[in-house]
Amino acid sequence: MPRTFSPQLLNSIESAEDSPGISLAKTCLKAGLPASYAAPMLKVSRMTLHTWFRGGVIRKSRVGQLEQFIKFIEDEISAGVLPKQTLKETQEYVEHFSGRALPVNKSAA
């Protein structure tokens, strides 16, 4: 089962200067997308996403992609598509978006 955002991450997002990674974190939070679900949508690792969420360096070649992703997710929020009501619905949304199944935690199944 994906973890929610930790209190420490939430505090760092709130107090951080605006950057593409912080904007991404705020958008994922608003959309109810845990890092483990957003990472496959961006074709990056969960660790990379957490680095970006904390203001880490993002390659210039990725910034445009992140800006497009943020706009897309914000449009989905505005249209009422996100956030989903359950994690299962969120998982199905991400699987449809990314075209591949997310790993399932066997102990939660």
Tens of pLDDT, residue by residue over 52-82, are 998 899 999 999 999 999 999 999 999 999 9
Give whole-number Cα distances, 103 to 66, 70, 72, 94, 96, in Å. 23, 24, 24, 12, 14
More confident position, 100 or 43: 43
| Average of per-residue pLDDT values in the chain | 86
More confident position, 98 or 101: 98
pLDDT in tens, 32-41: 999 999 999 9
> Does the structure show a pLDDT above 60 at 107?
no
How do the domains of the chain map onto residue ranges? 7-98
